[in-house]
Amino acid sequence: MRILVVGGAGYVGSHCLQKLLATHHDAWAYDNLSQGHREAVPEGRLIIGDLLDTDLLIKTMKTHGIDVVLHFAAKALVGESVVRPDMYYKTNVTGTLSLLDAMVAADVKKIVFSSTCAVFGSVPPPITENLPKNPINPYGFTKLVIERALADYAAAFELEAAALRYFNACGASADGSIGEDHDPESHLIPIVLQVALGQRPHVQIFGTDYPTPDGTCIRDYVHVEDLADAHLRVINHLKAGQLVDYNLGTGVGVSVREVIETARRVTGKPIAVVESPRRSGDPAVLMGDASKALRELGWSAKFKAIELVIESAWAWHQANPSGFRK
């Protein structure tokens, strides 16, 4: 298939692009490089363009004869979305409408959307697809709006759409060629590993009084290569005129303190901690139920142990202490 990976120079998008090319699909990354990295994309596979540039999207899809769009491009920081919701509505919602309009104009019928467990808000775990969706921050709400838009466009224009709701993406490629590199970095595992490398003095724990066994937030950490595998699988399970949805999690909850302790064991390094107040918009527990994905897609996470996730990330960070910026 000929596949356009929108946001394909970013973290999850680049790993998905790598898997597509390894499995002999003809795939290109479309990215404005505001958060992605040119170095994460193989030579000749990057198209530089903005999500809001509908005309360029149309031209790109027609020129390359695109069959499927994988949509990863978004702003994705919960805290930032609370103080700058304008950026999140413009990029996530308006940008996605631009992409959908381009697909309709270019007669591209298939789209897989990178959604998030944040659409559910604070609900008891494990989180299934049919639970109420009540996001508690603008980031989650913009993703929910996009899911609704996908369903409406699918019904009106006979699109085939899927929303894959991630929990916490993490880890790095098995061959060590690409990994996680954000600026600024906000994800726990790379921050912890930066402390291990001596690049930060400490890691902050935001909130130690949550109703969890050790008082810190619990999350479901899903390896980025498992997420890439799910994208390939769902392409063959799309339905005309419909949006299908799947939660992608391991079903295993890991607390902030457990991540830090595991990183200490994996790296053999002391990792200093500073305890700080809770952040706005952080639920105590987010843990997924991926039984629907197993039942319908044959997908389940292979990297369920947090040690395996951190080992892959540590290998990347050791080999690339400055990330993609050599």
Please give the positions annotated as active site: 139
Look at residues 269, 144, 275 and name the one whose alpha carbon lies nearest to residue 206. Answer: 275
User: Which DSSP category does 285 fall into?
Assistant: B
Distances in whole angstroms, Cα of residue 122 to Cα of each of 49, 134, 151, 292: 36, 8, 24, 21
What CA–CA distance (Å, rounded) separates 115 from 169? Answer: 12
What CA–CA distance (Å, rounded) separates 216 from 206? Answer: 8
CA angle centred on 170, ends 164 and 173, rounded to 5°:
100
Question: 61, 5 in Cβ contact below 8 A?
Answer: no
Look at residues 49, 47, 48, 45 and name the one whose alpha carbon lies nearest to residue 22. Answer: 45
User: Which DSSP category does 39 fall into?
Assistant: G
Question: 40, 105 in Cβ contact below 8 A?
Answer: no
Distances in whole angstroms, Cα of residue 257 to Cα of each of 27, 101, 189: 39, 44, 11
Question: 158, 274 in Cβ contact below 8 A?
Answer: no
Question: 73, 95 in Cβ contact below 8 A?
Answer: yes
